[in-house]
Structure 1
Amino acid sequence: MQSYLHRSENRGHVKAGWLESKHSFSFGSWYDPKYMGVSVLRVINDDLIAAHNGFGTHPHDNMEILTCVLEGTISHKDSMGNERHISAGEWQLMSAGTGVQHSEINQGDIPVHMLQIWIHPDIRNAEPNYQQIQRDPKLQPNQWHVIAGPNSDAAMHIRQQAEVKTAFIQATNTLAIKATQKLNYVHVISGELEIAGETLKAGDALAFAEEAEIQALTDSQLIWFDLPV
């Protein structure tokens, strides 16, 4: 396939009271038929949640839901009996399966900045489960950290033939994306970098099938989704 560049300014921008969100793909009140997801990746929401506010109890089913907290702490409660706090540098995976009710509330005094990611599962109506890890790539820069995947080497197990990896690349350093015979989708969280001749800034993303080298123009944090074709 040809590479596909998704610029930050083409994301949906929704601001409603306590929530400011940028949607990489159509979500909620923001809809654009050009942006309906890539492969099994359906949602990347870049959320800023005001202090003492959040998402009240609501349902999900048959979706792999990843949360990456970048700033602050979000408090999670669900119908599986989990009550947890996810702080900056931590990741949560909720496999909704047959169905789960949950809430995500910012109980602190500062805004929470987090990414919410949805991936379609390859197994439907499985038993719901909850996983959480600490994985801040800034502590071990210039290398890939596997966040979620279908195999035992992944920190969290996802019900899909896909891997989610993250990295923090210091300025002037490079990091390779190896050919996987799958579809690569790289989303930039912060900084500025170059991939396959394209310069990407925070909020930009690039989909491509071939291997590539990433050159960090500034200190940069990113997520690599290794997706089935």
Structure 2
Amino acid sequence: MTTYLHRSEDRGHVKAGWLESFHSFSFGSWYDPKYMGVGPLRVINDDHIAAHNGFGTHPHDNMEILTCVLSGTISHKDSMGNAGDIKPGEWQLMSAGTGVRHSEINQYDDDVHLFQIWIQPNVRDAEPTYQQIKLDPNDAPNQWHLIAGPNANAPMHIRQNAEVKTAVLEAGHELTAETTQTMNYIHVIRGEVDIAGEIVKAGDALVFGDEAIVKANEDAQMIWFDLPA
């Protein structure tokens, strides 16, 4: 497959009161037909939520919704009866299935920085589920950590033939990324890495095929999506 770089400056940028968001793919009021997703990966929103604000109760269905909190604390509540905080280093996976209503509110005095990711499922109208884990890659750098996948060994189960992994890679270290499906999509959260000769900086992402060496030019953090076409 063709390797291509998705630059940070090509993301949508929306700032409206309490929310500042950078959209890797078309979302809400920001639309660009060149950026509609990669395989089943449909949304990567890099959100900054001001204190004492957030997303009120709203519905979703037939979407795998993954949230990663980088700083601050977000409070979750949903129609399945789940309620509680998601803190830095924690991940939430809500499989919306036939339908769920939820809210994500910053109840505290500090701003929240989080990533919200949507992956289209390969099973429709399943029973909604909720999963939450703590897995901070800062605690064990220079290795890939599996966050979600379709098999029993995954910390969280996703309804798609895809794996989501994360890593903190210290300057001068390297890792191998090899797809088990069809394509790789690596989004850099912070720092700078070299992937197969491409310089990928914070906010950038690279789509590539079978295998590549990821080298850290400086301390970096990444999310890796191993995706079917």
TM class, shorter-chain normalised? over 0.9
Q: How many residues align?
A: 229
Determine if the alignment matches structure 1 residue 228 to structure 2 residue 228.
yes
The aligned residue for residue 161 of structure 1 is 161
Deviations 1:82-101 (A, max 9, x none): 00100000000000000000
Residue 146 of structure 1 contacts residue 154 of structure 1 at CA under 8 Å; is this kept in 2?
yes
Aligned 8 A contact 1:73 1:87 in 2:
yes
2:68 alignment counterpart: 68
1:54 is paired with a residue whose SS is strand
Tell me if structure 1 keeps the 8 A contact 2:179–2:226.
Answer: no
Identity among equivalent positions (%) equals: 72
Do the aligned residues in 2 keep the contact of 1:181 with 1:209 (CA within 8 Å)? no
Cross-structure match for 1:6: 6
Asked if structure 1 preserves the Cα contact closer than 8 Å seen for 2:170 and 2:216, the reply is yes
Partner of 1:9, secondary structure, is helix
Tell me the distance in 2 between the aligned counterparts of 1:52 and 1:219: 32
Alignment match, 2:131: 131
2:218 counterpart SS class: coil
Quick check: 2:181–2:226 contact (8 Å CA) kept in 1?
A: no
Does residue 192 of structure 2 align to residue 192 of structure 1? Answer: yes
Q: Counterpart in 2 of 1:77?
A: 77
Structure 2 alignment gaps of length 5 or more: none
Q: Report what 2:33 is aligned to.
A: 33
Q: 1:209 is matched with which residue?
A: 209
Question: What's the CA shift for 1:181?
Answer: 4.5
User: Counterpart in 1 of 2:42?
Assistant: 42
Are the counterparts in 1 of residues 162 and 181 from structure 2 also a CA contact under 8 Å? no
Q: 2: CA distance between counterparts of 1:167 and 1:224?
A: 8
CA distance in 1, matches of 2:48, 2:39: 26
Q: 1:216 to 1:86 in 2, by over 3 A?
A: same
What are the superposed Cα offsets for residues 61-110 of structure 1, whole Å, 9 maximum, x if unpaired? 00000000000000000000000100000000000000000000001101
TM-score by length of 1: 0.99
Q: Does 1:90 align with 2:90?
A: yes
Which whole-Å CA distance do the structure 2 matches of 1:146 and 1:154 have between them? 6
2:176 aligned residue: 176
Letter in 1 for 2:42: R
1:20-39 deviation line (CA, Å, top 9, x unaligned): 00000000000000000000
Q: Shift of residue 153 of structure 1?
A: 1.0
Say whether the 8 Å CA contact 2:63–2:95 is kept in structure 1: yes
| Deviation at residue 136 of structure 1 after TM alignment | 0.4
Q: 1:162 Cα deviation (Å)?
A: 0.2
Counterpart amino acid of residue 23 in structure 1? H
Instruction: Give, in angstroms, the shift of residue 210 of structure 1.
Output: 2.2
- The answer to whether the 8 A contact 1:161-1:228 is kept is yes
